[in-house]
Amino acid sequence: MAYSNERDKNNKPILHRRMLPFLMRPPALIVMIVSSLFGQFMWTAALSTSWRYHYDRLSLILAFAIGIVLGFIQGRFTSSLFAQYYIDLLLERIKLWNTALGKITTIFGILALGIPVLWNIFARTSPAGLQSYIFGFIGGMNVGIYLWVRKLPK
């Protein structure tokens, strides 16, 4: 992998888009955002038109919206983590877990995805809202990362 010889004002190498992993590049992020929206649309359409299940579209959309908000926050945490430490990680100078931001990002992700799953298990509720929440979380996280990646030099 080619590293940049350019330096910022703190004498740290500048991160470029070409240094990012494949799934953090703009085309891959756009595909994941679109597939999340398409998946939510198909999920809502299938459940709200089924004669067997009687789900309210509003509750599915609300779960999706909450997922988008929390996913976007997770995406911003992840992009901040990569902006500060990714080159050092590639050069094996640090481990992400040893940074405060790495711990915050990991704990937030575990809580944001774990609490709804545990709620679903222990409350014995329908998984329909959980699926909408996860579609929203994935889409929101990818939007948060995409907005950061767009600002990076090519």
pLDDT of residue 136: 92
pLDDT of residue 9: 58
pLDDT of residue 52: 65
Q: pLDDT tens across 92-140, in order?
A: 888 888 888 889 989 999 999 888 888 877 766 667 778 888 999 999 9
Q: pLDDT tens across 18-59, in order?
A: 777 788 888 898 999 999 999 888 888 887 776 666 667 777
Helix axes 26-49, 57-90, angle to 10 degrees: 160
Query: Above 50 in pLDDT, residue 1?
Result: no
Cα distance between residue 117 and residue 124, in whole Å: 10
Cα distance between residue 80 and residue 145, in whole Å: 9
pLDDT of residue 138: 93
Letter string b/e over residues 124-145, b meaning 16 or more CB atoms within 10 A of that residue's CB: eeeebbbbbbbbbbbbbbbbbb
Alpha-helical segments (H) within 9-56: 26-49
Q: How many CA atoms lie within 13 A of 52 on its CB side?
A: 2
Cα distance between residue 13 and residue 128, in whole Å: 45
Domain ranges of the chain: 21-151
| pLDDT confidence band for 12 (50 / 70 / 90) | low
pLDDT of residue 60: 82
Query: Above 70 in pLDDT, residue 61?
Result: yes
